[in-house]
Structure 1
Amino acid sequence: MYHPYFRGKQFELITIREMAALLAEKNFVPVIEPVRESLGSLKKTLDAVSEAGGSAIVIVNPYHGDHQENGSSITGLLQEDFGDDESISAGILLRNGMTVEEVMACYQQHVDHSPVLIHAGFTEPKALSVELADSMSNLTNIFVEDHAKLLYRKHFDRSNRILVRDGFKRQRNADYVEMEEFSDLNVTYTELGMAGFGDFLMVGDAYTEGGGPAYAVAIHLTFIDPEKDDVMYIYHFVSDTKDTPTDPAGKFGQALAKLIAKLDSGTSHILETKAIQEFRALHEKGHFPGLGYVKKLSMKHHIETLADYLG
């Protein structure tokens, strides 16, 4: 049903591990694009997903990060450590410039790992659908919406189809408005003929290797508004200090104070998740855990919110 798309950085993988039980319980299937050369943390994460009784899709030909030129070590990991594990699927990323022949060669190489096709810029859907005709009914196709419009998706309408939308409009932290719409796919995906939906959480599809010093600190939190047809929105709680790269702890304190004030107003629609309880505890202690940890809490809150909404 829900397919959160993660790039395999440290805190993304930790998020999946810590949420493995809930992901499994709700049949949420994370898509992981490994971007770090070392695969130890990825293996640990997949072990946690498998032990919890969940499923995951691992992209074997990443577009970003250290495996951009050669994903053979990811393939090796799947074959050696998860060869008999039906819960771990091979994801094949279909980008601009790939030929049908290249897609099919990768598909055949990973046929023992229930390959899932992730459409993100590929330009020959009709020809590919002809090649896959015999296996279409057993195939899952994931479409990144910005790259795969309605006509494109129609070529794969006999398959299990998932639509992924980037609801996070990334900009400089200092420039975020307090609140904006994130996505309505949680409500509309079946109307669009999809079996499920996904997003890039509050990280977004745009990939960066690591930010510079934060002139402003922002906490991004999603919520579902029952008064607006259950559309998902996102708050951006931004620090008041925005003109210096120093004192991230102080800026986090400012952003967190705004978050707590909104929660305590009783009008926020923010679900009181375990992640929110942890934000409250950080506020009470006056503790700054680091920006990566803050992003992890926001991602966990997002997953908990959708888990609650989808029952």
Structure 2
Amino acid sequence: MYYPYLRGRQYELLALRELLEKKLISAEVLQPIVEPIKETMIFKKTVNSYYDSEYPLYTVIDPQVGEFVLHAKDHPILDRKDVYNAVLMEETEENLAKLLPVLSEGRKVLPIYRKSDDLIKSGLIPAQVNLNLVNDGTRFKRFFSQKKQRVGILRDVFTKQRRNVDYAQHTDEFFSDDHLYYHDDGYSAFSDYSIIGESYINGGFAPVAVAIHIVYFDAENNLRIKHFVSDTNDDIYDPAGKFKEALEKLVAWARDIEDKNDSEALHEFQELLAKARYPGLGVVKKLSLMHHLEIMSKFLKNNGE
């Protein structure tokens, strides 16, 4: 089972909604986690569309970044009894204790442990935990194996560069093989931050280069990532022209891909080039994210996960 960890940025939420609406992901093998950063209509609609369709989506009820740092009792979707909750265990014991009235109402809970010290607080979480999500480490596995509890691995597998133009020096690189070996490593599930990465930056700026990040399965079914980077990178002007340069490289590569790497998002990229349309960088990130989640869902389902 794959639990992609996303923030509540607009393009990430729109990616999740479109994947659901177009039936491009399967709940049997993929259940997203969203850490909200702002209370927006898109966030509410995305969450409710998943719950209304009975497709599991975990929302972090003690977010640590952005403007959505709310106490659990004020969370706008917690009036729903069918909500799936994720809890960041790096919170203080006092705040976690305040979550108990909400979490003790028979709701499904997914604790997320990033540091070994967070295990001290694990006794605050009620019994209806199906899975514990942890950063890699033998202490985590040892702790939960003694309690006979299921454990999933959480990693940041995206190698983030300081500038988009720097990806031109690493156009094709290893991304992840957790989907192949997480069972062998003693885990029941795996999770990552997709092509976004764990680091959170509030706001953005006009980039000198445009980079499109596309993951793909190689011949051994390892996940690799290609970075298609613009060539005209002397200043911040003409983002549409830069996008066209990067997009031409992506479309040329996609002509010969195998079925396992094909996706609805790649077809949309091809259509953008055919129509000479620049949709904005948010849409570019949305399509790259959709592509990753679609081919991962398809791979896991086809391989009996």
Determine if the TM-score, normalized by the shorter chain, exceeds 0.5. Answer: yes
**Alpha-carbon distance in 1 for matches of 2:131, 2:155:** 17
Contact 2:111–2:133 (CA under 8 A) maintained in structure 1? yes
The residue aligned with 1:236 is 227
Aligned-partner SS, 2:16: helix
Larger relative contact order (CA 8 Å, sep ≥ 6): 2
Consecutive unaligned residues of structure 1, counting only runs of 5 or more, are none
State the Cα distance separating 1:22 from its structure 2 match.
Answer: 3.4
2:248 is the counterpart of 1:254: no
Query: Could you tell me which of 29, 32, 44 is aligned with 2:31?
Result: 29
- Describe the shift of the 1:178–1:268 C-alpha distance in structure 2 as closer, same or farther (beyond 3 A): farther
2:290 is the counterpart of 1:290: no
State the Cα distance separating 1:54 from its structure 2 match.
Answer: 0.6
Query: Could you tell me which of 101, 104, 114 is aligned with 1:111?
Result: 104
- Describe the shift of the 1:32–1:124 C-alpha distance in structure 2 as closer, same or farther (beyond 3 A): closer
Identity %: 31
- Describe the shift of the 1:62–1:124 C-alpha distance in structure 2 as closer, same or farther (beyond 3 A): closer
Q: Which amino acid aligns with 1:273?
A: S
The alignment of Structure 1 onto Structure 2 pairs a total of residues equal to 293
Aligned-partner SS, 1:243: coil
Q: How does 1:260-299 map to 2 (within 5 A)?
A: 260-264=251-255, 266=256, 271-299=261-289
1:145-186: CA deviation from partner (whole Å, max 9, x where unpaired): 2xx522123212322222121111111110011111111101
1:21-45: CA deviation from partner (whole Å, max 9, x where unpaired): 3334444111010001x24222211
Contact 1:217–1:255 (CA under 8 A) maintained in structure 2? yes
Q: How does 1:40-189 map to 2 (within 5 A)?
A: 40-68=41-69, 70-72=70-72, 75-80=74-79, 82-83=80-81, 85=82, 88-95=83-90, 98-99=92-93, 102-112=95-105, 113-121=107-115, 123-125=117-119, 127-129=120-122, 135=127, 138-143=129-134, 145=135, 148-157=136-145, 158-171=148-161, 172-176=163-167, 177-189=170-182
**Alpha-carbon distance in 2 for matches of 1:262, 1:230:** 18
**Alpha-carbon distance in 2 for matches of 1:129, 1:285:** 53
Aligned-partner SS, 2:117: coil
**Alpha-carbon distance in 1 for matches of 2:42, 2:124:** 35
Consecutive unaligned residues of structure 2, counting only runs of 5 or more, are none
Q: Which amino acid aligns with 2:180?
A: V
Contact 1:23–1:29 (CA under 8 A) maintained in structure 2? no
Write 1 or 2 for the structure with the bigger share of helix. 1
**Alpha-carbon distance in 2 for matches of 1:76, 1:207:** 21
**Alpha-carbon distance in 2 for matches of 1:59, 1:91:** 4
**Alpha-carbon distance in 2 for matches of 1:270, 1:255:** 23
**Alpha-carbon distance in 2 for matches of 1:302, 1:28:** 12
State the Cα distance separating 1:217 from its structure 2 match.
Answer: 0.1
Q: Which amino acid aligns with 2:53?
A: A
1:66-91: CA deviation from partner (whole Å, max 9, x where unpaired): 023x3347x542332x22x2xx2111
**Alpha-carbon distance in 2 for matches of 1:299, 1:267:** 18
Q: Which moved more, 1:177-186 or 1:44-53?
A: 44-53
TM-score normalized by the length of structure 2? 0.88
